[in-house]
Amino acid sequence: MENNLIDDEEYKQMMDSYAEAEQQEYIKEVNLKSEWENKLQGLIPKLEILFEWLNENHDCWMPIGIVEIYDADEKRSGYSTYQHVRIKNDKDKLLYMKQDEDEEEVGVNHFCVWQTTGYIEDDYSGFLLLPLSDGKYFKVSYSC
């Protein structure tokens, strides 16, 4: 009967390979965020504060791009006092809630959010739209 278990050397090689792949992904993520930080210079007055807030308050976040929005007449139940928006020409047609924020803490005075909860209901993921000085929005995905 053949033994299907891997030996210690094969296991070490496999783990080294996983660690290397994870390190490469981390480097890609850091480089992408750095590229976006450079692109956004001058478009978000307190950019460093905003990036710190994203890093501290979200387990994972990734830049997606720059979008334009418009005010929507629809309201999400339970949030009828909040303005809602949609992204122009967005195939997903998600309804984002616009909320005011403390600019000193977050780096912007408002942002728009579309969010969903996970199975255990204490984990969240979604998209944030962060205002730029030219009237457009920086879109990021996040989870926490």
Question: What pLDDT, in 10s, does the model give residues 97-109?
Answer: 999 988 888 888 9
Q: Which residue from 105, 106, 113 is spatially nearest to 83, judged by alpha carbons?
A: 113
**Residue 110 lies in domain:** 40-143
> What pLDDT score does 1 carry?
46
107 domain-assigned:
yes
Residues 6+ apart with CB under 8 A from 4: none
Which position has the higher pLDDT, 112 or 75?
112
Q: Is 14 domain-assigned?
A: no
* Spatial separation of the C-alpha atoms in residues 76 and 39, rounded to whole Å: 33
pLDDT, the chain, mean: 88
As a whole number, mean pLDDT of residues 65-79 equals 86
Global pTM value = 0.83
Burial label for 137, CB within 10 Å (0-12, 13-18, 19+), is buried
Instruction: Decide if 2 is inside a domain.
Output: no
Task: Answer whether residue 83 is part of any domain.
Answer: yes
| pLDDT grade for 4, boundaries at 50, 70 and 90 | low
In a domain, 82, yes or no: yes
45 occurs within a structural domain: yes
Count of domains in the chain?
Answer: 1
Residue 11 lies in a domain: no
Task: Establish if 91 belongs to a structural domain.
Answer: yes
